[in-house]
Amino acid sequence: MMSGSVFIDENTLYLSSAFFPKMVTAFAANTVSYETLTRGYNFVYQKEVNDGEAAAMALEFMEEGKPAFTRLHLQDLGEAGSSVAAGRGNPVWAYDIWHPESPYRRKLIEADELISGFLKGLERLGVLERTAMVILGDHGQADSGWHPLEYMDPSITTMVLWGAGIKKGDRTPYAELIDVVPTICELMGVPAPATSQGRVLFEALEGCEARVSPRPEIQKTMNGQFIEYRKITASISLLLEEMPVSLQWRFFRRYNSFKQSFYDIHRFTEWPRFKTREELMAQNARALSGLNELLDSARKEAGRN
């Protein structure tokens, strides 16, 4: 989300690099989990506290340092989603974030109230009318809580753009997290980091209708590949156990070869070996094709024996 790319390695540049050192920036979070992302910020607050304290510190940064860009991360909502998924003690809201008594719903309301308070604080400081707000989650939530890998719901989150330079009443049906960085940079009038691969959401900006370009649903397709891979490999593994040992070795050899040629979310650190996400998808598509053929063969063998 803060890099504008899914290819993360030691050369990746983050949003703060687009502003540093010419503009003052601030980052506040009620967790220390993101310390590796704070390089280039002038003001940084990271502490294991509650969302309210982080929001208060972000507003204090706005008042004292007058940063051109501020990032506020609220962690309590994500923690509440995790508690729902854990279901410890079997509470009535276990595995259901939408239950009326769910801590997720309670923290969601609290987050809304904190954002409202932050906006009122900007109004008090006299900067609200010239401020653009980008509000979103860094991931979605499964209905059962948390954001398990390779499920579609956790990969979907709503993004709200509001304020100076933002078109009113527009609704964009599809965007990707990597589009956040170039869009913010466009609003701020600075080039996006060189390693960013997202696109500017011109359709959400005032006076930019002529610059709108189509957004291929690349990340959605990639997520679909990961889900298909998980299902296929699970099916093949079960079928291999049903085969005679004399046949297993031949299938295992091909099976492992195809698995090694598929780059799923667990091989995230290897993704930068590809130049584009299209190349990554093409590689995974070839591996999936081979795995599907192997699955058909395994089903026939298992059926004959």
Domain count, the chain: 2
Average pLDDT over residues 174-194: 96
The candidate with the shortest Cα–Cα distance to 236, out of 214, 257, 206, is: 257
> 248 is in which domain, residue-wise?
218-304
Mark whether 207 and 89 lie in a shared domain: yes
Mark whether 61 and 187 lie in a shared domain: yes
Mark whether 70 and 197 lie in a shared domain: yes
pLDDT at 122: 97
The band of 214, judged by pLDDT with boundaries at 50, 70 and 90, is confident
Interacting residues of 169 by C-beta distance below 8 A, sequence separation 6+: none
Mark whether 191 and 264 lie in a shared domain: no
Last residue of a domain, one of 190, 211, 232: 211
Q: Does residue 2 belong to any structural domain of this protein? A: no
Mark whether 158 and 24 lie in a shared domain: yes
Mark whether 267 and 284 lie in a shared domain: yes
- What share of the chain has pLDDT > 90, as a percent? 84
Q: Does residue 271 belong to any structural domain of this protein? A: yes
First CA to last CA distance, the chain: 50
pLDDT at 65: 96
Q: Count of CB atoms within 10 A of residue 171's CB?
A: 6
Inter-residue contact 192 to 16 (CB < 8 Å): no
152 vs 184, which has greater pLDDT? 184
The CATH number for 37's domain is 3.40.720.10
Last residue of a domain, one of 211, 230, 255: 211
Given a cut of 80, is residue 304 above it in pLDDT?
no
Average pLDDT over residues 3-20: 95
DSSP characters for 85-124? HH-TT--TTTT-TTSTT-HHHHHHHHHHHHHHHHHHHHHH
- What share of the chain has pLDDT > 70, as a percent? 99
Last residue of a domain, one of 211, 233, 256: 211
Distance, in Å, from the CA atom of 84 to the CA atom of 88, rounded to the nearest integer, reads 8
Average pLDDT over residues 134-148: 93
Mark whether 231 and 177 lie in a shared domain: no
Average pLDDT over residues 160-179: 94
Mark whether 184 and 275 lie in a shared domain: no
* Cα–Cα distance list, 86 to 9, 79, 145 (Å): 32, 11, 8
Mark whether 59 and 204 lie in a shared domain: yes
Q: Count of CB atoms within 10 A of residue 169's CB?
A: 4
pLDDT at 210: 85
The band of 246, judged by pLDDT with boundaries at 50, 70 and 90, is confident
Given a cut of 50, is residue 305 above it in pLDDT?
no
Mark whether 115 and 246 lie in a shared domain: no
